[in-house]
Amino acid sequence: MKFTLSGLKRSLAAALFTLVIVGCGPASPASEEMQPVTETAAATASTPAEDSRQPAAESIRIGALVPLSAPGSVVGGEAMRDAMIIAAEEINANGGILGRPLELIVVDSEGLPERGAAVTERLITQDGVVAIAGGYHSSVGVVAKEVAHDYDVPIVFANTWNDTITSVQYPQVFRIAPISSEVSAVDVNFMQWLRDEAGARLEKVVLLTENTDYGIPAAEDTARLLGEAGIDSVTFGVDIGTQDFAGIIERIRAEEPDLIMSLATGEASYNFAQQSADAGLGPQDVPTMCDHVALESDAFWTNVPDGNYCFVRRIGLPPQLYNDAAHAFLAAYEARTGKEGAESYAFAAYDAVRIIAQAINEAGTAEAQAVIAALEETTYEGALGTITFPVNSSNPPEEAGVDPKWWHQFPDPAVTVVQYQREGEDSVGAAVVFPPSYQTGEPVIVGR
């Protein structure tokens, strides 16, 4: 389901707001620490203009696109925002970009396509960003990519999985998040492994999905692959931000599932998991794959006190394989947030800002085409590992012999499944149960 931009651009009123994180760099008078977050009034702009870019003596602006209000995944957006601030602080502490301070402009997509399109356009036409990082919800990514393409501004997506985001092969669009269809394949491989190797009964799976550009294709891919594996499935769709799942839960009960998989994001994911538990269909009653926002341990246990034994998909290398960059980021993130560990999308958001900064430095300019060329050729050593974009204008999909979805796509994001096995435990310490090559513990299969 692709969201069209027709009628959206320049249609929202001037009530939007932008959070501005002003970086500290050698050229900044407040060079000792980041200036505080401020709110500025927003005004819609009608056309892009070259003079909206920053003069040479001023900061270089990068946009940060995250959900900070419901119905978006607020806890996910806050984690990404904090990670991007850390990246900006580090960049500025090391001389900025091209000797100029980085200014990070943070906008709230609310997880809604129309809002995401409007604030992305505002970043470009009014705030004068030279590139954009972030993106949590695929529905926002699907429309934001169109805005970036229209205005010829590079964008590096950190957590938007929809296949079409890269398969359209826009020069401006890069992604370090995984591809939805590839993640679905991992999910089904895990379920097959539970059945064939771990001894779980697995004849029917219920998929609870949000009706978005994330949930719909993910459910379709998962259902198709389950069918190929000889496992029946039933899909129930809900709107993003749904709070009351009572009716859906009773319909799920009637299906007598062997496993329940949630493809609902944000607070809706928490609501579904706990309401299922209250009805006797929760993670302690029926094997359950919770959405990856369950990695926000504090928020998860606060909202889902009966969430023990949830399986959770985690993107990125397991902690035992963290490199020096990951350890350094983790220390900074824990110090800033007070959390134990960092979520996969926090790692990705951090890397998204830093890879843009590296590309600008490598290009020697913030001009869009030069930055895009640098991104295509870059090798970035980051918290997620070594990031490259091998399928690009010099090696297009048809020549590389791959599907168009691999265009400007980081090909190697690790995907593991962890399981909470103690109430209140942090996701970083949770047992990695799949794949076997990363396994640190055996899965607990409830109801067996």
User: Could you tell me which residue, 26 or 213, shows the higher pLDDT?
Assistant: 213
Residues 6+ apart with CB under 8 A from 4: none
pLDDT in tens, 150-199: 999 999 999 999 999 999 999 999 999 999 999 999 999 999 999 999 99
Report the sign of the C-alpha dihedral through residues 401, 407, 408, 414, in that order: negative
pLDDT in tens, 242-270: 999 999 999 999 999 999 999 999 899 99
Q: How much is the pTM?
A: 0.84
pLDDT in tens, 387-443: 999 999 999 999 999 999 999 999 988 899 999 999 999 998 899 999 998 999 999
- The whole-angstrom separation of Cα 78 and Cα 93 is 22
Q: Tokens 């320049």 label which residue?
A: 10
Domains of the chain, earliest start first:
17-179+325-406 (3.40.50.2300), 181-318+414-438 (3.40.50.2300)
Instruction: Please say whether the beta carbons of 161 and 177 come within 8 A.
Output: yes
pLDDT in tens, 115-144: 999 999 999 999 999 999 999 999 999 999
pLDDT of 383: 95
- The whole-angstrom separation of Cα 75 and Cα 61 is 25
Report the sign of the C-alpha dihedral through residues 250, 253, 254, 257, in that order: positive
| Model confidence band, residue 98 (pLDDT cutoffs 50, 70, 90) | very high
pLDDT higher than 50, residue 19: no
- The whole-angstrom separation of Cα 152 and Cα 130 is 9
Query: With b meaning 16 or more CB within 10 Å and e meaning fewer, what string describes 387-413?
Result: bbbebbeeeebeeeebbbbbbbbbeeb
pLDDT of 413: 87
pLDDT of 361: 98
pLDDT in tens, 86-95: 999 999 999 9
pLDDT of 16: 38
In angstroms, the first-to-last Cα distance of the chain is: 38
pLDDT of 306: 98
DSSP category for residue 76: H
pLDDT of 320: 80
- The whole-angstrom separation of Cα 120 and Cα 114 is 10
Is residue 237 classed as helix, strand or coil in its secondary structure? strand
Of 11-20, 27-36, 120-129, the one with minimum mean pLDDT is 27-36
Q: Tokens 């499935």 label which residue?
A: 233
